[in-house]
Protein backbone atom coordinates (compact mmCIF):
# COMPACT_ATOMS: atom_id res chain seq x y z
CA UNK A 1 0.00 0.00 0.00
CA UNK A 2 2.92 2.37 0.63
CA UNK A 3 3.37 2.92 -3.11
CA UNK A 4 -0.29 3.53 -3.79
CA UNK A 5 -1.60 7.06 -4.05
CA UNK A 6 -3.59 8.33 -1.09
CA UNK A 7 -6.82 10.24 -1.51
CA UNK A 8 -8.79 12.42 0.90
CA UNK A 9 -12.40 13.55 0.58
CA UNK A 10 -12.94 17.19 1.62
CA UNK A 11 -16.25 19.02 1.88
CA UNK A 12 -15.44 22.66 2.70
CA UNK A 13 -18.43 24.95 3.31
CA UNK A 14 -18.31 28.72 2.90
CA UNK A 15 -20.93 31.29 3.88
CA UNK A 16 -22.06 32.59 0.49
CA UNK A 17 -24.72 31.14 -1.78
CA UNK A 18 -26.38 34.19 -3.36
CA UNK A 19 -23.73 36.24 -5.16
CA UNK A 20 -22.76 34.11 -8.15
CA UNK A 21 -19.59 36.06 -8.89
CA UNK A 22 -18.32 35.53 -5.34
CA UNK A 23 -19.18 31.82 -5.35
CA UNK A 24 -17.33 31.33 -8.64
CA UNK A 25 -14.30 33.30 -7.49
CA UNK A 26 -13.98 31.15 -4.38
CA UNK A 27 -14.56 27.82 -6.13
CA UNK A 28 -12.03 28.82 -8.79
CA UNK A 29 -9.34 28.41 -6.13
CA UNK A 30 -9.90 24.63 -6.23
CA UNK A 31 -9.96 24.31 -10.02
CA UNK A 32 -7.08 23.23 -12.25
CA UNK A 33 -4.86 21.88 -9.48
CA UNK A 34 -3.08 18.66 -10.44
CA UNK A 35 -3.99 15.92 -8.00
CA UNK A 36 -7.32 17.51 -7.01
CA UNK A 37 -10.72 16.84 -8.56
CA UNK A 38 -13.60 19.26 -8.03
CA UNK A 39 -16.59 16.91 -7.76
CA UNK A 40 -19.33 19.50 -7.23
CA UNK A 41 -20.35 22.73 -5.58
CA UNK A 42 -23.85 23.49 -4.36
CA UNK A 43 -24.79 27.15 -3.72
CA UNK A 44 -28.03 27.48 -1.75
CA UNK A 45 -29.78 30.85 -1.75
CA UNK A 46 -31.88 30.51 1.40
CA UNK A 47 -29.02 29.00 3.43
CA UNK A 48 -26.64 31.56 1.86
CA UNK A 49 -24.03 28.84 1.88
CA UNK A 50 -22.08 26.75 -0.64
CA UNK A 51 -20.91 23.18 -0.10
CA UNK A 52 -17.86 22.16 -2.16
CA UNK A 53 -16.86 18.52 -2.65
CA UNK A 54 -13.23 17.72 -3.49
CA UNK A 55 -11.19 14.54 -3.76
CA UNK A 56 -7.44 14.87 -3.86
CA UNK A 57 -3.99 13.70 -2.97
CA UNK A 58 -2.90 15.16 0.37
CA UNK A 59 -0.34 17.77 -0.73
CA UNK A 60 -2.24 19.41 -3.62
CA UNK A 61 -5.52 19.16 -1.71
CA UNK A 62 -3.97 21.14 1.13
CA UNK A 63 -3.07 23.87 -1.36
CA UNK A 64 -6.63 23.91 -2.71
CA UNK A 65 -8.20 24.11 0.76
CA UNK A 66 -5.93 26.93 1.92
CA UNK A 67 -6.48 28.91 -1.28
CA UNK A 68 -10.23 28.40 -1.08
CA UNK A 69 -10.37 29.53 2.55
CA UNK A 70 -8.17 32.55 1.83
CA UNK A 71 -10.50 33.73 -0.92
CA UNK A 72 -13.55 33.18 1.32
CA UNK A 73 -11.95 35.35 4.00
CA UNK A 74 -11.22 38.02 1.39
CA UNK A 75 -14.65 38.19 -0.23
CA UNK A 76 -17.14 37.43 2.58
CA UNK A 77 -17.84 39.91 5.38
CA UNK A 78 -19.59 38.19 8.29
CA UNK A 79 -20.78 41.58 9.57
CA UNK A 80 -23.01 41.74 6.48
CA UNK A 81 -23.77 38.04 5.90
CA UNK A 82 -27.10 36.44 6.80
CA UNK A 83 -28.84 33.16 5.97
CA UNK A 84 -30.85 30.34 7.49
CA UNK A 85 -27.91 27.96 7.95
CA UNK A 86 -25.91 28.14 11.22
CA UNK A 87 -22.42 29.59 10.68
CA UNK A 88 -19.53 31.25 12.51
CA UNK A 89 -17.26 32.27 9.67
CA UNK A 90 -16.70 33.10 6.01
CA UNK A 91 -14.99 29.73 5.48
CA UNK A 92 -17.28 28.09 7.98
CA UNK A 93 -16.03 24.50 8.00
CA UNK A 94 -13.29 22.36 6.48
CA UNK A 95 -14.19 18.71 7.17
CA UNK A 96 -12.14 15.89 5.66
CA UNK A 97 -12.57 12.11 5.47
CA UNK A 98 -10.35 9.18 4.43
CA UNK A 99 -11.25 8.18 0.88
CA UNK A 100 -8.67 5.70 -0.42
CA UNK A 101 -5.40 4.20 0.89
CA UNK A 102 -5.35 6.55 3.88
CA UNK A 103 -6.36 6.07 7.50
CA UNK A 104 -8.47 8.19 9.83
CA UNK A 105 -5.40 8.67 12.02
CA UNK A 106 -3.50 10.12 9.07
CA UNK A 107 -6.41 12.47 8.34
CA UNK A 108 -6.46 13.66 11.96
CA UNK A 109 -2.75 14.53 11.71
CA UNK A 110 -3.35 16.14 8.30
CA UNK A 111 -5.94 18.53 9.80
CA UNK A 112 -3.48 19.59 12.49
CA UNK A 113 -0.86 20.41 9.85
CA UNK A 114 -3.40 22.16 7.64
CA UNK A 115 -4.55 24.30 10.56
CA UNK A 116 -1.03 25.54 11.30
CA UNK A 117 -0.45 26.54 7.67
CA UNK A 118 -3.88 28.15 7.31
CA UNK A 119 -3.53 30.18 10.50
CA UNK A 120 0.01 31.31 9.67
CA UNK A 121 -1.19 32.58 6.29
CA UNK A 122 -4.54 34.15 7.23
CA UNK A 123 -4.57 34.77 11.01
CA UNK A 124 -8.22 33.69 11.27
CA UNK A 125 -9.08 31.87 14.53
CA UNK A 126 -9.68 28.14 14.25
CA UNK A 127 -11.77 25.56 16.11
CA UNK A 128 -11.23 21.80 15.98
CA UNK A 129 -14.18 19.42 15.81
CA UNK A 130 -14.79 15.74 15.06
CA UNK A 131 -11.80 13.52 15.85
CA UNK A 132 -9.62 16.63 16.25
CA UNK A 133 -11.80 18.12 19.01
CA UNK A 134 -9.93 19.24 22.12
CA UNK A 135 -12.86 18.27 24.36
CA UNK A 136 -15.93 16.06 24.06
CA UNK A 137 -18.36 18.96 23.60
CA UNK A 138 -16.50 20.31 20.59
CA UNK A 139 -16.92 17.09 18.65
CA UNK A 140 -20.35 18.48 17.76
CA UNK A 141 -20.57 21.42 15.36
CA UNK A 142 -23.70 22.60 17.16
CA UNK A 143 -21.73 23.25 20.36
CA UNK A 144 -19.12 25.37 18.58
CA UNK A 145 -21.77 27.20 16.54
CA UNK A 146 -24.07 27.95 19.49
CA UNK A 147 -25.20 31.55 19.07
CA UNK A 148 -23.74 31.60 15.56
CA UNK A 149 -21.31 34.32 14.48
CA UNK A 150 -23.13 37.10 16.30
CA UNK A 151 -23.42 35.22 19.60
CA UNK A 152 -19.96 33.66 19.50
CA UNK A 153 -18.43 37.09 18.97
CA UNK A 154 -19.68 38.10 22.41
CA UNK A 155 -18.45 35.03 24.34
CA UNK A 156 -15.37 33.75 22.50
CA UNK A 157 -13.12 35.35 25.10
CA UNK A 158 -14.32 32.82 27.71
CA UNK A 159 -12.48 29.58 28.42
CA UNK A 160 -15.46 27.47 27.29
CA UNK A 161 -15.84 29.16 23.90
CA UNK A 162 -12.42 30.54 22.94
CA UNK A 163 -10.83 29.31 19.67
CA UNK A 164 -8.40 26.39 19.72
CA UNK A 165 -5.90 28.30 17.60
CA UNK A 166 -5.49 32.05 17.57
CA UNK A 167 -6.55 34.82 19.96
CA UNK A 168 -9.71 34.69 22.07
CA UNK A 169 -11.67 36.81 19.61
CA UNK A 170 -13.12 36.41 16.13
CA UNK A 171 -11.63 37.95 13.00
CA UNK A 172 -13.49 41.25 12.44
CA UNK A 173 -14.86 40.21 9.04
CA UNK A 174 -13.99 36.52 8.50
CA UNK A 175 -15.13 35.18 11.90
CA UNK A 176 -13.65 31.74 12.54
CA UNK A 177 -13.32 28.36 10.82
CA UNK A 178 -14.00 24.83 12.10
CA UNK A 179 -11.64 22.06 10.94
CA UNK A 180 -12.22 18.34 11.48
CA UNK A 181 -11.40 14.82 10.41
CA UNK A 182 -13.93 12.01 10.71
CA UNK A 183 -14.53 8.56 9.29
CA UNK A 184 -17.86 9.42 7.67
CA UNK A 185 -19.10 12.62 6.10
CA UNK A 186 -22.60 13.97 6.13
CA UNK A 187 -25.16 13.43 3.40
CA UNK A 188 -27.49 16.37 2.73
CA UNK A 189 -31.00 15.08 2.11
CA UNK A 190 -34.22 17.04 1.50
CA UNK A 191 -37.79 15.71 1.57
CA UNK A 192 -40.44 17.90 -0.08
CA UNK A 193 -43.95 18.36 1.32
CA UNK A 194 -47.07 19.37 -0.58
CA UNK A 195 -48.04 22.22 1.72
CA UNK A 196 -47.11 25.84 2.32
CA UNK A 197 -47.49 25.39 6.07
CA UNK A 198 -43.93 25.81 7.35
CA UNK A 199 -44.94 24.81 10.88
CA UNK A 200 -45.68 21.28 9.68
CA UNK A 201 -42.18 20.94 8.23
CA UNK A 202 -40.69 22.29 11.46
CA UNK A 203 -42.67 19.83 13.61
CA UNK A 204 -41.56 16.89 11.45
CA UNK A 205 -37.94 18.11 11.51
CA UNK A 206 -38.07 18.24 15.31
CA UNK A 207 -39.27 14.63 15.36
CA UNK A 208 -36.57 13.35 13.01
CA UNK A 209 -33.51 15.01 14.53
CA UNK A 210 -31.46 13.36 17.24
CA UNK A 211 -31.34 16.03 19.97
CA UNK A 212 -35.15 16.12 20.23
CA UNK A 213 -35.62 12.35 20.32
CA UNK A 214 -35.29 11.26 16.69
CA UNK A 215 -32.40 9.58 14.89
CA UNK A 216 -29.10 10.11 16.70
CA UNK A 217 -27.11 10.62 13.48
CA UNK A 218 -29.54 13.13 11.92
CA UNK A 219 -29.99 16.88 12.25
CA UNK A 220 -32.96 18.50 10.54
CA UNK A 221 -34.76 21.79 9.98
CA UNK A 222 -38.07 22.73 8.38
CA UNK A 223 -37.58 25.43 5.78
CA UNK A 224 -39.09 27.07 2.71
CA UNK A 225 -37.15 27.22 -0.55
CA UNK A 226 -38.38 30.40 -2.29
CA UNK A 227 -37.68 28.96 -5.74
CA UNK A 228 -40.16 26.07 -5.45
CA UNK A 229 -43.63 25.24 -4.18
CA UNK A 230 -44.15 23.53 -0.86
CA UNK A 231 -41.94 23.32 2.21
CA UNK A 232 -38.97 21.10 2.99
CA UNK A 233 -37.65 18.88 5.75
CA UNK A 234 -33.93 19.43 5.21
CA UNK A 235 -31.61 16.89 6.87
CA UNK A 236 -27.91 16.49 7.51
CA UNK A 237 -27.35 12.74 7.84
CA UNK A 238 -24.02 11.96 9.48
CA UNK A 239 -24.03 8.18 9.04
CA UNK A 240 -26.25 6.69 6.34
CA UNK A 241 -24.91 3.26 7.19
CA UNK A 242 -26.49 3.36 10.64
CA UNK A 243 -29.50 5.45 9.59
CA UNK A 244 -30.32 4.73 5.93
CA UNK A 245 -31.98 7.26 3.66
CA UNK A 246 -35.11 5.15 3.32
CA UNK A 247 -35.65 5.20 7.09
CA UNK A 248 -35.75 8.98 7.34
CA UNK A 249 -37.84 9.22 4.16
CA UNK A 250 -40.41 6.79 5.56
CA UNK A 251 -40.46 8.63 8.88
CA UNK A 252 -41.11 11.99 7.23
CA UNK A 253 -43.78 10.44 5.01
CA UNK A 254 -45.53 8.84 7.97
CA UNK A 255 -45.44 12.02 10.04
CA UNK A 256 -46.69 14.14 7.12
CA UNK A 257 -49.69 11.83 6.74
CA UNK A 258 -50.77 12.81 10.26
CA UNK A 259 -51.36 16.31 8.95
CA UNK A 260 -52.99 15.16 5.71
CA UNK A 261 -49.92 16.21 3.74
CA UNK A 262 -48.31 14.27 0.90
CA UNK A 263 -44.60 13.88 0.23
CA UNK A 264 -43.91 14.95 -3.35
CA UNK A 265 -40.32 13.73 -3.60
CA UNK A 266 -36.85 13.96 -2.15
CA UNK A 267 -33.40 15.19 -3.14
CA UNK A 268 -29.79 14.38 -2.32
CA UNK A 269 -27.66 17.52 -2.40
CA UNK A 270 -24.21 16.83 -3.77
CA UNK A 271 -22.37 13.51 -4.11
CA UNK A 272 -23.34 10.41 -2.15
CA UNK A 273 -21.67 7.06 -1.54
CA UNK A 274 -22.93 4.19 -3.67
CA UNK A 275 -23.40 2.04 -0.56
CA UNK A 276 -25.87 4.56 0.84
CA UNK A 277 -28.05 4.20 -2.23
CA UNK A 278 -27.70 0.43 -2.33
CA UNK A 279 -28.87 -0.11 1.24
CA UNK A 280 -32.07 1.79 0.45
CA UNK A 281 -32.50 -0.08 -2.82
CA UNK A 282 -32.13 -3.44 -1.06
CA UNK A 283 -34.81 -2.47 1.43
CA UNK A 284 -37.28 -0.99 -1.05
CA UNK A 285 -37.05 -3.92 -3.49
CA UNK A 286 -36.66 -6.61 -0.86
CA UNK A 287 -33.47 -7.98 -2.41
CA UNK A 288 -32.12 -11.23 -1.01
CA UNK A 289 -28.44 -12.21 -1.12
CA UNK A 290 -27.57 -9.07 -3.09
CA UNK A 291 -23.98 -7.82 -3.24
CA UNK A 292 -22.37 -4.89 -5.01
CA UNK A 293 -20.31 -7.19 -7.27
CA UNK A 294 -23.55 -7.75 -9.20
CA UNK A 295 -23.39 -4.13 -10.39
CA UNK A 296 -21.34 -4.18 -13.57
CA UNK A 297 -20.05 -0.62 -13.21
CA UNK A 298 -18.41 -1.38 -9.86
CA UNK A 299 -15.85 -3.53 -11.70
CA UNK A 300 -14.55 -0.38 -13.41
CA UNK A 301 -14.15 1.68 -10.21
CA UNK A 302 -10.78 0.34 -9.08
Q: Active-site residue numbers? A: 85
Look at residue 3 and give its three-state secondary structure. Answer: coil
Question: What is the pairing mode between strands 126-130 and 177-181?
Answer: parallel
Among positive and negative, which fits the CA dihedral 13, 52, 75, 234?
negative
Say how far apart CA 61 and CA 104 lie, in whole Å.
Answer: 16
3-class DSSP state of 109: helix
Residues 141 and 146: their CA atoms lie apart, in Å, by: 8
Distance (Å) of CA 178 to CA 132, 170, 244: 10, 12, 27
If we measure between CA atoms, which residue out of 222, 203, 201, 227 comes closest to residue 213? 203
What is the DSSP pairing of strand 231-237 with strand 218-223? antiparallel
If phi > 0 it is left, if psi is from -120 to 50 it is alpha, else beta; for residue 147 that is left
Alpha-carbon span 76 to 267, nearest angstrom = 28
The burial of 135, by beta-carbon neighbours within 10 Å (0-12 exposed, 13-18 middle, 19 or more buried), is given as exposed
Helix, strand, coil distribution of the chain in percent, nearest 5: 35, 25, 35
Amino acid sequence: MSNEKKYILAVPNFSEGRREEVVEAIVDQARNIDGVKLISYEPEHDFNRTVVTLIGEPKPLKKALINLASKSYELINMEEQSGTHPRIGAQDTIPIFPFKNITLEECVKYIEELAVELYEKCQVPLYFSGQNARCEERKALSFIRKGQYEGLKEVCHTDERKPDMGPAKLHPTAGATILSADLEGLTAYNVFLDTENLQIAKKIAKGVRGPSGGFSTVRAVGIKFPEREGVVVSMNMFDCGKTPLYRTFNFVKQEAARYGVAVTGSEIVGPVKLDYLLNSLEYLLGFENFNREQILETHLMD
